[in-house]
Amino acid sequence: GEDVEQSLFLSVREGDSSVINCTYTDSSSTYLYWYKQEPGAGLQLLTYIFSNMDMKQDQRLTVLLNKKDKHLSLRIADTQTGDSAIYFCAESMNYGGSQGNLIFGKGTKLSVKP
């Protein structure tokens, strides 16, 4: 079945760059997403990348997509304590009438030390 894998924890120092990695299995995914969940809150869309792109940059966020290896990464430059959260990678499902469904990874908990 479809699966999205990501490491569960990442710890960085304030001001450093954070890189959160994700691997996925569905090569037909149209979009890949990064969601952020702050403590006690729902998921908030952070950014997304269309599958025919290699890179997308949005202020401190850089998303890199390697379609050949089915590898997605999220880089946060100049990481701040406010970036401490759980980050979920997700891929879209595009088969079997399930358009609109996403498959989520288990989430990477980012801890930023001052």
Partner 1 sequence: DVKVTQSSRYLVKRTGEKVFLECVQDMDHENMFWYRQDPGLGLRLIYFSYDVKMKEKGDIPEGYSVSREKKERFSLILESASTNQTSMYLCASSRNPGPGLGYQETQYFGPGTRLLVL
- Residues 64-69: contacts with CB within 8 Å, 24+ apart? 65/32, 67/27, 69/23
Looking at beta carbons only, is 9 or 15 nearer to partner 1?
Answer: 9
In the complex, least distance from residue 111 CB atom to partner 1, rounded to whole angstroms: 15
- Written as six digits, the tokens of 30 are 């149209």
Applying CB under 8 A, the residues found at the interface with partner 1 are 8, 30-31, 33, 35, 40-45, 48, 88, 92, 99-102, 104-107
Residue (83 or 91) nearer to partner 1, CB: 91
Contacts of 99 (CB under 8 A, 6+ apart): 92, 93
